[in-house]
Amino acid sequence: MGIEKDKQKILIGLKKAESSLKKITSMIEKDEYCVDIMQQNLAVIGLLKSVHQQIMQDHLQTCFTEGVESGSKTKQTKMIEEIIRVTRLVGKS
């Protein structure tokens, strides 16, 4: 997989998001102020977007590049279609 280079950075981001999600759950259970909950929620979204961008960058620099440079039209087409599909999903979030 292409994330080996930044694996620790990605894991740290995911663990921070996980911790923040637990905090949000606790805040909701304690009936804390809605705006405070929303701010925490936005922080999680930001963390997850950052992780996504890092994974995408690593993928483009490794797996995608290898696929495109492979010379296989089938593999090249598959790699391009995957990027288009993921990019569309990001646009929907």
Q: What does CATH list as the number for 4-92?
A: 1.20.58.1000
Q: Quote the tokens at residue 49.
A: 């977007």
Q: Show pLDDT as tens, one digit a residue, over the chain (93 residues).
A: 678 889 999 999 999 999 999 999 999 999 999 999 999 999 999 999 999 999 999 999 998 888 889 889 999 999 999 999 998 888 776
3-state secondary structure of 52: helix
The pLDDT score that the predictor gives to residue 93 is 66
**Measuring CA to CA, which residue among 6, 38, 1 is closest to residue 20?**
38
Q: Report the C-alpha gap between 59 and 57 in whole angstroms.
A: 5
Provide the whole-model pTM: 0.83
Among 7, 9, 5, which Cα is nearest to 65's?
A: 5
Domain assignments of the chain as residue spans, ordered by start: 4-92
